Amino acid sequence: MNNIGYKEILLRYLNGQKTDQPILTSEAARYVAKETGLPVTNIKKAVNVNMARLEKSGRIARIEKGVYCRRIKTAFGYYTPNRETLFYRQLLYHEDEVIGYETGLSLLNRLGLVSQMPARRCFATNRYGRRVPNGMRIEVRKPVVKIDHSNYRYLQLLDAIRESENAPVDAEHPEALIREAAERMQLDPKLLILIARRYYHPKTLLKTIDIMFGGLYETARG
């Protein structure tokens, strides 16, 4: 297949991406390979060349090596999504799969447990080995277990319970806020406790029991 064919396939792929979605050349290459029936190794170079040409023509913008985003034309010129937003979306999603979640002090602030505004946003992600580009106010952490769609909300709330022990929590009723968050997320309390028992420190487990069922944490402590 010639370069024009690759370009047409790439444009179909790009037009199917959300405006705030990072576009990885590796994923674009897999799409082209699937469409053409060719091995990824055979078309990777052509995809890289065509992506560079699309950037030069103004169709996409380069965020970092191997990562692009769509440029959207508006009445006021071209709109390019925030570079930091595009980066952390790479930490949260792989195509349609959930691979990360927000955690740390930024999560506690979002849940209303602390009023302090953190200097950085923190994310637990399966891509914890990713280097954070210079200038980005992002922290990357390794999760306690591989993250997927079925567990990420449970892990996120358990992180909040764990980290509230040493954070500057100033909410009037933090336990009630955590219970409300669990209800919003439609979490099963028994499954929450099971995951806490498997992957978290016993102190976090006991605190989770106390918050979700009330009183048992103090009883356990004697």
User: What pLDDT sits at residue 93?
Assistant: 87
Q: With a cut of 70, which residues of the chain have pLDDT below it?
A: 1-4, 77-79, 81, 215-222
Quick one: pLDDT at residue 212? 92
| 89/192 same-domain check | yes
Class of residue 156 by CB neighbours under 10 A (exposed 0-12, middle 13-18, buried 19+): buried
Domain count, the chain: 2
**Predicted pLDDT at 79:** 67
Boundary (domain end) residue, out of 43, 62, 79: 79
pLDDT tens digits, one per residue of 194-211? 999 999 999 999 999 999
Q: Is 164 exposed, middle or buried (0-12, 13-18, 19+ CB in 10 A)?
A: buried
Residues 61 and 131 placed together within one structural domain of the fold: no
pLDDT digits (tens, 9 = 90+) for 96-142: 789 999 999 999 999 999 998 888 999 999 999 988 888 889 999 99
The answer to whether residues 199 and 90 belong to one domain is yes
Picking from 79, 108, 130, the residue at the C-terminal end of a domain is 79
pLDDT given for residue 1 in this prediction: 41
Cβ neighbourhood burial of 97 (10 Å; 0-12, 13-18, 19+) = exposed
Asked whether residue 69 falls in the same domain as residue 95, the answer is no
The pLDDT value given to residue 2: 46
Boundary residue ending a domain (54, 79, 104) = 79
Are residues 92 and 43 part of one domain? no
pLDDT (0 to 100) of residue 219:
45
Give yes or no: residues 74 and 104 share one domain.
no
- The helix or strand, by DSSP H or E, that contains position 123, with its residue range, turns out to be strand 121-125
What is the reported pTM? Answer: 0.72
Quote the domain boundaries for residue 51: 3-79
